[in-house]
Amino acid sequence: MAELDVKRIDMSNPLISVIIPNYCHAQYLDQRIQSVLNQTYDNFEIIILDDCSPDDGASRAVIEKYRENSHVSHIVYNETNSGSTFIQWNKGIELSKGDYCWIAESDDFCEPNFLETLVAQVMSYPDVSVAYCIPQFVDKEGQLIRPIPESEQIKIIKGDDFVRTPMSYTNAVWNASAVIFKREYVLEIDKCYMDYVAAGDRLFWALLAKKGNVVHVPKRLSWFRQHGNEVSPAKKRQGITGREDYWIVRYMEQHGWLNWLESIRARHIYLLDVERFQYDNETIRQELLNQWSYNGKMPIRLIHLIGRCYMSYLSRVGRKN
């Protein structure tokens, strides 16, 4: 493997560590890696991780084509499957030497100006921990589906505000491939996100947001592939995602990130989803309803009433401002 010079040139040209965690995406890997190599911003290293893909060497065959590329600093093949996307993220981050990191998921791809655009924004605003764009959905063939409108209005959001709204009740960062984040801050945050298998990314972004500011660039620079065999829908039907979302809100409550009304709002919104969603069985729904209602200690109808009133109040205040 070629030796990579990872010296920081200066902070107007930060080194970006691009982490590509792969599991059985051999058919998409070339497009993913090429979309990184074709970036107009070229001060980056690439770290490729394969989580013991059981594909008869198909992933390895693609990966090995890039071993001598000057941008590739590490290629790591796990001997056993880690069982967690987030463990792989952490492995890549620990290997990285960049000022910022980018988790470039192995089945996604991006525009050539992805890094150039986001790096310009993190350099333009103070103390940015996370910068993200719109991840545009495409099908397994890479064709556009569900177009999401763009905007010229770049937003800089205080990390504390971003956690309270919207991260307390949803994951506003839909796709890791659409994000760059400050490596220094990742090394400081709680590693509890690695204990999750479904919603750990939401906690990861929230923990990072608490370290600085968040920049949202409403441009379609990253392409988020939907190929019909994603594991996320199954995890939600099984209640895994709902349980993890609950423990993330509890984490926020226990660490004082949310006041009481913000906690009620989060529980109100999640309860609405639990009431409407089709789980694998009714026992899962009842378990989640019980959790979100303070383990059955607060009537669900009261949580809904307080949540709606609080959101209505915030809406009125927002219109006045």
Q: Which two tokens stand for residue 92?
A: 């890549």
Q: Which two tokens stand for residue 155?
A: 């937003």
d(CA 289, CA 272): 10
Could you tell me which residues come within 8 angstroms of residue 205 by beta carbon, excluding any fewer than 6 positions away? 130, 167, 171, 172, 173, 179
d(CA 319, CA 102): 36
Concatenating the DSSP letter of every residue in 178-246 gives: GEEEEHHHHTTS-GGGGG-SSSHHHHHHHHHHTTSEEEEEEEEEEEEEE-S--SHHHHHHTTHHHHHHH
What b/e sequence results for 77-89 when a residue is b if at least 16 CB atoms lie within 10 Å of its CB, and e otherwise?
eeeeebebbbbbb
The dihedrals phi and psi of 184, each to the nearest 5 degrees, come to -55, -40
CA-nearest of 205, 218, 214, 128 to 173 is 205
C-alpha distance from residue 34 to each of 60, 76, 107 (Å): 16, 19, 12
C-alpha distance from residue 283 to each of 231, 238, 239, 243, 249 (Å): 21, 10, 10, 13, 22
Dihedral class, residue 105 (left if φ above 0, else alpha if ψ from -120 to 50, else beta): beta
Could you tell me which residues come within 8 angstroms of residue 158 by beta carbon, excluding any fewer than 6 positions away? 213, 214
* pTM of the complete model: 0.93
Can you give the pLDDT of all 321 residues of the chain as single tens digits? 433 444 433 457 999 999 999 999 999 999 999 999 999 999 999 999 999 999 999 999 999 999 999 999 999 999 999 989 999 999 999 999 999 999 999 999 999 999 999 999 999 998 999 999 999 999 999 999 988 899 999 999 999 999 999 999 999 999 999 999 999 999 999 999 999 999 999 999 999 999 999 999 999 999 999 986 666 889 999 999 999 999 999 999 999 999 999 999 999 999 999 999 999 999 999 999 999 999 999 999 999 999 999 999 999 987 765
d(CA 4, CA 188): 26
d(CA 132, CA 180): 6
Q: Which two tokens stand for residue 217?
A: 């660039």
d(CA 215, CA 154): 7
Could you tell me which residues come within 8 angstroms of residue 318 by beta carbon, excluding any fewer than 6 positions away? none
